[in-house]
Amino acid sequence: MASPKRRAHAVSRSPTIGLLAGLIVTLAAVVADGAYITRQIAGLRALQTDLADRNRKDSLQLLRLENDLNTIGLAMRDMIDTTQYPLTAWRAQFDRVRADFDDALRLEAAAAVAPQTPEQRRYLARSVSQFWEAVDRMFATAATGTEDEARAQIRVSLQARQAALSTTVARLLVANNAREEATAHRVQDIYSAVQRQAYLFVGATLIAILVTGLSVIRANRRLFAAISALSQRRHELAGQLITTRESTLREISRELHDEFGQILTAMGSMLSRAGKHAPEGSALRADLREVNEIAQTTLNNVRVLSQALHPSILEDAGLDETLDWYVPHVERQLGITVSYDRAGSTSEIGTGARIHVYRVLQEALNNVARHSGAKEAWVRLRAGGGLLELEVEDHGRGLEAATDRRGLGIVTMRERAELIGGTIEFLEPREGGTLVRLQMPTYE
């Protein structure tokens, strides 16, 4: 079994460390996932811009080369089959195709994603150079008037070289298409990886939130349990203090009434007897009479003080008679006018609850006299149907103007209301001021 000290430490342990740890884990997950996704998106952007776009441009230039070779192939077929025009008539078309072919070849070399090896570049450059050299020789032969020999060169040399170049360009186009497909697969893999990472991040975040939330709930439960225990102990302590105070006041009241009252009564009797033995008209007799009057006045003051500390009439006659006595007395004592209205009987109220109702009324009227600035108050007591309601109303400065000064009295009134199972409210009437309303069940 854990010791009280260890239990107190467990209850008072702060959840801050756990919450900070949960927050750090969550932030770390967010940062890590953000960095991962940023890196993947950067790679994806590189694939889409550097690879996909270059592949597309490369493919366009390869198609352009292939189209130029096809144009040359068709032209050479027409040159072989047609004898109506001299072969030199196709010279201008070949020059245009050659210029477009060289430009396409240059752009393709710049856009190629996978640059060719030096051997491949030399082979392609040599094949292109040999083809155009053969074209130049063919047109030179045709310019000398020997077109049959030129056509023979087309059939034997140029068509074969054109077919070889077309095959080379086709292979490059196929390789480029393969690279595009590979790039598309890589992009899809990146999307899948990012999607999986997003799911993992959401799951980890939800777990972190769940763990943190459970920690908060557990910490709040411990906190509210501690607050409830403290409130219960405070309530018990307040009840004990109030009970002790009332018991002390009762004892002091009895001591004043019984001991000092009897002493002062005896002194008054002795002074009266002594005065009778003194000569009539003598100074001694006058002094004894004056001392006797002082003793009687002191006796009355002691009785009033005894009743103020703890009215014995409350236990002897009940709450109704006590309030009937107290209201006129408090008017003289505090210098305010109190309008008292009572409906029903409070005979059902237990002995232990009477003193608390009386103290609430006493504190409320003291607040009226000390803090409200009002010279008039209204006290209403209604009992019946198992419920007692006490209202004390004034039209002074109001509760907020004297909150700091009334704080302890308000706390005491609340504690007394809880001790008797009732409720107390501090309201503001329409006319302004303060309305104190106490409600309690009328049973022991």
CB 271 within 8 A of CB 288: yes
- Give, for 392, the enclosing helix (H) or strand (E): strand 387-394
The pLDDT of residue 23 is 74
Tell me what pLDDT residue 116 has: 65
Residue 119 lies in a domain: yes
In a domain, 180, yes or no: yes
Asked if residue 291 is part of any domain, the answer here is no
Which residues face 393 on adjacent strands?
A: 378, 435
Question: Are residues 326 and 204 located together in one domain of the fold?
Answer: no
270 alpha-carbon distance from chain centroid: 80
pLDDT, residue 48, reads: 63
Residue-level pLDDT at 400: 67
On whether both 75 and 213 belong to a single domain, the answer is yes
In a domain, 267, yes or no: no
Distance of CA 411 to the CA centre of its chain: 32
Name residue 437's beta-bridge partners: 391, 425
Same-domain pairing of 146 and 19: yes
DSSP conformation letters of 199-225: HHHHHHHHHHHHHHHHHHHHHHHHHHH
| CATH number of the CATH domain containing 22 | 1.20.1420
**Which strand (E) or helix (H) includes residue 185?**
helix 159-254
Identify the DSSP state of 402: G
Q: What pLDDT sits at residue 232? A: 76
Domain end, chosen from 168, 197, 218, is at 218
Sign (positive/negative) of CA torsion 176, 179, 184, 190? negative
Q: Are residues 173 and 40 in the same domain?
A: yes
Q: What is the pLDDT of residue 307?
A: 64
- 240 occurs within a structural domain: no
At 6 the pLDDT is 44
Write the DSSP string, 318-372: -HHHHHHHHHHHHHHHH--EEEEEEES--TTS-HHHHHHHHHHHHHHHHHIIIII
Specify whether the backbone of 310 is left (phi greater than 0), alpha (psi in -120 to 50) or beta: beta
- State both tokens at 222: 């411990």
Residue for token digits 């069940």?
441
Burial of 185 (0-12, 13-18, 19+ CB in 10 A): exposed
Task: Quote the number of domains for the chain.
Answer: 2
Q: pTM for the full model?
A: 0.50
Neighbours of 436 (CB within 10 A): 24
pLDDT of residue 310: 67
The three-point CA angle 397-422-408 to 5° equals 45
Last residue of a domain, one of 218, 234, 263: 218
CA distance 154 to 80: 8
Cα gap 336→396, rounded to integer Å: 12
What is the structure's pLDDT at 2? 45
Asked whether residue 213 falls in the same domain as residue 360, the answer is no
In a domain, residue 54? The reply is yes
Count the neighbouring beta carbons within 10 Å of the beta carbon of residue 210. Answer: 11
Tokens of 275: 């005065």
Domain membership flag for residue 239: no
Q: Which of 218, 244, 272 finishes a domain?
A: 218
Instruction: Give CA–CA dist 331/377, Å, rounded.
Output: 10
DSSP code for 281: T
Are 26 and 167 part of one and the same domain? yes
Which residues are CB-contacts of 24 (< 8 A; sequence separation ≥ 6)? Answer: none
pLDDT at 5: 45
80 with 199, same domain: the answer is yes
Residue in this structure with the two tokens 């023979």, named with its chain if needed: 152
pLDDT in tens, the chain (444 residues): 444 444 444 445 566 776 677 678 777 777 877 787 787 777 666 666 666 777 788 888 889 888 999 999 998 888 888 777 888 888 999 999 999 999 988 888 887 766 666 777 788 888 888 889 999 998 899 888 888 888 888 888 888 888 988 898 888 888 878 877 777 777 788 778 877 877 887 787 788 788 877 877 887 888 888 888 887 777 677 667 777 776 677 677 666 666 666 777 777 778 777 777 777 777 777 777 788 788 778 877 776 676 666 677 777 788 888 888 888 888 888 889 999 999 988 887 877 788 889 889 988 888 888 888 889 999 999 988 889 999 999 998 877 655 544 457 788 888 888 888 899 999 988 888 899 999 998 865
- Cα 423 to chain centroid distance, Å, stands at 34
Range of the domain at 319: 313-441
Q: Which two tokens stand for residue 95?
A: 């020059």
| CA atoms of 352 and 422, how far apart (whole Å) | 13
Question: To which residue do tokens 């107190």 refer?
Answer: 8
